[in-house]
């Protein structure tokens, strides 16, 4: 279970880092995507 959580966090982090490298926040500053991205980011920061 713990190992699975670790793998999931790692996968999410990769997805987030990829999204970050495209600098989506410049394009989606005031859209639902921005909100979702921030939510994912906060979840990942909390997971670390």
The per-residue pLDDT for range 14-39, each reduced to its tens digit, is: 877 776 666 655 665 666 766 777 88
> By the 8 A CB rule, do 35 and 3 touch?
no
Q: Which residue has the higher pLDDT, 21 or 45?
A: 45
What is the model's pTM?
Answer: 0.36
The answer to whether residue 40 scores a pLDDT higher than 60 is yes
Tokens of residue 3, six digits? 């190992």
> By the 8 A CB rule, do 44 and 16 touch?
yes
């Amino acid at each position: 279970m713990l190992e699975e959580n670790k793998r999931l966090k790692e996968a999410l982090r990769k997805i987030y880092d990829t999204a970050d490298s495209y600098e989506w926040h410049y394009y989606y500053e005031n859209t639902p995507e921005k909100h979702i991205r921030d939510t994912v980011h906060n979840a990942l920061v909390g997971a670390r």
